[in-house]
Amino acid sequence: MDKLRINEIFFSLQGESRSVGWPTVFVRLTGCPLRCIYCDTSYAFSAGESWSLPEILDRVRSHGGRHVCVTGGEPLAQRNCLALLQALADEGYEVSLETSGAMEVAEVDPRVVKVMDLKTPSSNEAGRNRYGNIDHLGPKDQVKFVIMNDEDYRWSVEMLRKYRLAERCEVLFSSAMGLQDPTELAEKILRDRLPVRFQLQLHKILWGNTPGK
């Protein structure tokens, strides 16, 4: 039977992306091959328990939500993540996947909304970006840049224009909590007339960096 290592399953408000604010069931998978400077979920690198797909689906159902977000860590680092995404979509949920952009996304079920990072230089993981993944993004998907400073901002604008991202999918510029002043980032976006969505992490504003929130 297919198994996945699960760090936590919880019910909260979506704090990021286009579905921000929606009550959402989060399925956090254990493990990540990256070590981004700003990572706020390092507790998911190794801690977790083995769950079967039916057990995961039962727990998701118990929360009664319509939206489900599969996250990590890096969920696609587990082979059976693809089967989980398909099973959730088959159940009729509105499913999103939060992925680092370092893993191949071509085989992700097309019903799933992909929220994919492009790692900025200050993350120390920009060398892991798979730019070929951009070819597998569509209008309902999103590319996210977590910005720590002006170098990250200029690099993100360069990627936005080089790959014509706004013509392919929605683009998110997010200020790294405690590292990039959000007002400063918002003013740069307005100054440069960028076709991007500015976002803050709603869940951190409400609850801080608390696991399960």
pLDDT for 16-62, tens place per residue? 888 899 999 999 999 999 999 998 888 889 889 999 999 999 999 99
- Distances 62 to 56, 94, 174, 211 between C-alpha atoms, Å: 10, 16, 32, 19
Q: What is the CATH number of the domain that holds 61?
A: 3.20.20.70
In a domain, 174, yes or no: yes
In a domain, 188, yes or no: yes
Residue 172 token pair? 């998110």
Q: Give the chain's mean pLDDT.
A: 94
Q: What confidence tier does 1 reach under pLDDT thresholds 50, 70, 90?
A: low
Compute the Cα dihedral for 15, 66, 19, 70 and give only its sign: positive
Task: Indicate whether 213 pLDDT > 90.
Answer: no
Residues 59-66, mean pLDDT to the nearest whole number: 96
Q: CB under 8 Å to 74, separation ≥6 — which residues?
A: 29, 31, 32, 33, 34, 99, 100, 102, 103
Domain assignment of residue 212, yes or no? no
Calculated CA dihedral for residues 173, 132, 24, 196, nearest 10 degrees: 20
Count of domains for the chain: 1
pLDDT for 44: 87
- DSSP result, 140-163: T-EEEEEE-SHHHHHHHHHHHHHT
Evaluate whether residue 75 is within a structural domain.
yes
Domain membership flag for residue 193: yes
Query: Would residue 153 count as lying in a domain?
Result: yes
pLDDT digits 0-9 by tens, 148-180 = 999 999 999 999 999 999 999 999 999 998 889
pLDDT at 209 (0 to 100): 72
In terms of pTM, does the model score above 0.85? yes
Contacts of 100 (CB under 8 A, 6+ apart): 32, 34, 36, 72, 74, 116, 117, 119, 125, 128
Range of the domain at 68: 3-207
Q: Is residue 63 in some structural domain?
A: yes
Give the three-state DSSP class for 15. Answer: coil
- What pLDDT was estimated at residue 162? 98
Residue 213 lies in a domain: no
Section 82-106 average pLDDT? 97
